[in-house]
Structure 1
Amino acid sequence: MTLVHWIIPIRLVDLLEIALVAYVLYKLYQLMRGTLAVQIFLGVMAIYLLQVIVTALDMTMLRRFFSALSEVAVLAVIILFQPEIRRLLVMVAQTPFLRRFVAAPVREEVINEVCAAVAEMSRLRIGGLIAFERSTGLRHYIETGTILNARISRELLLTIFYDKNPLHDGAVIIRNQVIAAARCILPVSTSMKLSPHLGLRHRAAVGLTEQTDAFVVVVSEETGTISVAQQGELISNLTAAELCTLLIEALEARPAVEVEEETSVNLQS
């Protein structure tokens, strides 16, 4: 038998499969890094290694035990890693190709009104939490608040987050270019990557973006700092113009330069 017969033929589809598996594993690692899922994953791998050893040593009772355990292993993994699996699926849905079919463009006046309101809230140190629905529906979170279905305006957003207003606690959710609801309850992130000094608003903003593809704007009541959260990450110390740029990129409205110029004019006036 020649050496040629021992060479395993590698097709182009095999290389593609390897690349896809490596990419999925890398994304899973990114999602699990800094969370309890890493420890759970190591525990699962330890159990699997123990099963291999038990099978190799032909331990009858333990082999039967692990055989019964393996029947529910897939379901157990899905339950244990449910947050990470959901975030992975959301990340897939965020690809530009898919978002063309599910994401509706946001009108420029919506961004202008939100940026003007956030700039004023930052100046007056009024705390705020504004979530934009994208391809992932936020109906579950909308139903936890007070339904408004109101046109977006700078004045209305400032009124909602005024600290004497009963609606100021919780989040405003913007859906289909209207304020769908206020005083909404968002999931709070438990990520160990976040600073322990962050307040509940910031953790709620990150928590929502860990589970959905929403884009969330946060204004700190203590410092007036403007922050945004997306894909489980928090970006802080933004100016109003930088916020508009990020909103445009996230919501696919129009070129950033035009809105920055309009925002500067609005803020000056």
Structure 2
Amino acid sequence: MESKISQIMGLYFTDWYFPDLRWTDVVEIIIVAFLIYQIMIWIKNTKAWMLLKGILFLAIFILLAAIFKMNTILWIARNSVSVLAIAAIVVFQPELRRALEKLGEKKFLTAIVPIDAGKENERFSQKTLDGITQACFSMGKVKTGALIVVEQAIRLTEYESTGIALDCIVSSQVLINIFEHNTPLHDGAIIVRGNRIVSATCYLPLSDNMGISKELGTRHRAALGMSEVSDALIIVVSEETGYVSVAQGGQLVRNVTPEYLKERLAGIQNKAVENKGISKLWKGRRKHEKKTH
């Protein structure tokens, strides 16, 4: 049977070349395709897209120089490659850092080998979720500006240190009191870790995204900037309109409803619960191993 198939293949496809593929080659192709896709998505969502367009323009220019044998331009291009590569790393350092942080956020590795097994994944309770939501919309009604950063996997220690250290339970009364006009802590952002407010009057990085609406002020630009450099969920209450907005992953959703805010907070709350469950399973396994030894 196999000989007949080989004869038929040889008869009709004599000029065709069929490479000898192993299963590892197929896996390798899938991995490379996945990496290229992820890089393209990353480039599209960051300033690196402008860099890519600039590189393509330079590549076309150098190709034309090679076709018309412009030796001086080719010599300059050859000697500038290393300098341009270093310059690109310096200019796009925030984007490269965020890409590596995103890679570290992937759960397929930490689920197998929990590098942070000794570190508890803190989650916030339903009381904290309700307190944040109630405070935001209460402040929105009286147009009290607020900026609340809800920390997730990436620790915000460097931004926490720019403010005044606190250690208090999150509640709607505390949040409203912090952001009340003319109080010492009302200016800047607060950082929420788990069920506690850990710092107030914190300075956040401003986004340099030119596509931001001119109607938005410093609070919204700071919220968007923070969402670009971390995985935190940032809530903004506008002092001008009283609207509540949510920023995460470089995206800003304006004028949200209480239900939408609760849904977003519940989303990261459930994520924290899932991580904690994995950590508990790993700890239980290690404990069992110790007992058997």
TM-score in terms of structure 2 length: 0.75
Q: Is 1:237 aligned with 2:248?
A: no
Q: Distance in 2 between matches of 1:8 and 1:52?
A: 32
Number of equivalences:
250
Q: Percent identity?
A: 32
Q: Is 1:51 aligned with 2:69?
A: no
Residues 203-228 of structure 1 deviation map (CA, whole Å, 9 limit, x = unaligned): 11111001111110111122221111
Aligned with residue 202 of structure 1, among 184, 207, 220? 220
Aligned with residue 114 of structure 1, among 132, 140, 155? 132
Listed as ranges, the matches of 1:4-15 within 5 Å are: 4-5=16-17, 7-8=18-19, 11-15=25-29
For the aligned residue pairs, the C-alpha RMSD in angstroms reads 2.6
Residues 122 and 193 in structure 2, CA contact (< 8 A), matched pair in contact too: no
Q: Indicate the residue corresponding to 1:27 in structure 2.
A: 41
Listed as ranges, the matches of 1:64-83 within 5 Å are: 64-83=75-94
Distance 1:227 1:96, change over 3 A: farther
How far apart are residue 231 of structure 1 and its match? 0.4
How far apart are residue 57 of structure 1 and its match? 4.8
How far apart are residue 183 of structure 1 and its match? 0.8
Report SS of the residue matched to 1:208: helix
Q: Distance in 2 between matches of 1:227 and 1:99?
A: 32
Larger Rg: 2
Q: Distance in 1 between matches of 2:89 and 2:130?
A: 42
Report SS of the residue matched to 1:3: coil
Q: Distance in 1 between matches of 2:182 and 2:140?
A: 17
Residues 44-92 of structure 1 deviation map (CA, whole Å, 9 limit, x = unaligned): 2222333334445554433332222112333222223223323333443
Distance 1:151 1:31, change over 3 A: same
Q: Which moved more, 1:223-232 or 1:146-155?
A: 146-155
Report SS of the residue matched to 1:181: strand
Aligned with residue 164 of structure 2, among 146, 153, 173? 146
Q: Distance in 2 between matches of 1:39 and 1:151?
A: 44
How far apart are residue 95 of structure 1 and its match? 4.0
How far apart are residue 161 of structure 1 and its match? 0.1
TM-score in terms of structure 1 length: 0.81
Q: Indicate the residue corresponding to 1:249 in structure 2.
A: 267
Q: Is 1:174 aligned with 2:192?
A: yes
User: What is the letter of the counterpart of residue 64 of structure 1?
Assistant: W
How far apart are residue 14 of structure 1 and its match? 4.4
Report SS of the residue matched to 2:45: helix
Distance 1:98 1:135, change over 3 A: farther
How far apart are residue 187 of structure 1 and its match? 1.1
Q: Indicate the residue corresponding to 1:125 in structure 2.
A: 143
Q: Which runs of 5+ in 1 are unaligned?
A: 255-269
Q: Indicate the residue corresponding to 1:163 in structure 2.
A: 181
Q: Distance in 2 between matches of 1:76 and 1:22?
A: 23
How far apart are residue 94 of structure 1 and its match? 4.2
Q: Distance in 2 between matches of 1:186 and 1:169?
A: 12
Q: Which runs of 5+ in 2 are unaligned?
A: 1-12, 274-293
